[in-house]
Amino acid sequence: MKHSLKLALGLTGLCLALAAPMLRAEGDAAPTIERERAMQRYKSCHFTDEMGQYLYQCVKKNDGFGTHWCYDETLETFCPAQAAARKAAESAPEQKPTN
């Protein structure tokens, strides 16, 4: 009886030891954090039809793979220009009315 109990405990321990790295890989938060950072960086960027076409062509070119990469590339390509245009419009001096 003691031998079978030791064997069962040993096999249980072996299974847990082998499963622990897989659980860590599934629960890795690093990719989620990076996606959240990208979303915060471009939170004021408005998605346009031109961006949608760019994203569609990227996904089509990659046969449906790498959609997250295509989305990030689209934001990095179009959003800085939107931000620059918005800052230029905000920093432009107001026209004073003439009398």
What distance in Å separates the CA atoms of residue 46 and residue 82, rounded to the nearest whole number? 8
What distance in Å separates the CA atoms of residue 33 and residue 70, rounded to the nearest whole number? 18
Is residue 85 in a domain?
yes
So what's the pLDDT on residue 50?
95
| In the block, residue with structure tokens 């989620």 | 32
Residue 43 parent element (H or E): none
State which residues form the domain around 62: 34-89
What are the pLDDT digits (tens) for 48-96? 999 999 999 999 999 988 888 898 889 888 888 887 887 777 776 666 6
So what's the pLDDT on residue 76?
87
What are the structure tokens assigned to 99, written together?
A: 């009398």
So what's the pLDDT on residue 56?
94
So what's the pLDDT on residue 21?
61
From the number of C-beta atoms within 10 Å of its C-beta (0-12, 13-18, 19+), residue 48 rates as: exposed
Is residue 44 in a domain?
yes
- Considering its fold, how many domains does the chain have in total? 1
Is residue 4 in a domain?
no
What distance in Å separates the CA atoms of residue 71 and residue 75, rounded to the nearest whole number? 6
Is residue 11 in a domain?
no
Is residue 53 in a domain?
yes
Model pTM? 0.54
- Please work out, in degrees rounded to the nearest 5, the angle formed at the alpha carbon of residue 10 by the alpha carbons of 4 and 12: 105
What distance in Å separates the CA atoms of residue 83 and residue 38, rounded to the nearest whole number? 15
Is residue 61 in a domain?
yes
Is residue 16 in a domain?
no
Q: Is the pLDDT of residue 98 over 60?
A: yes
What are the pLDDT digits (tens) for 17-31? 666 665 555 555 566
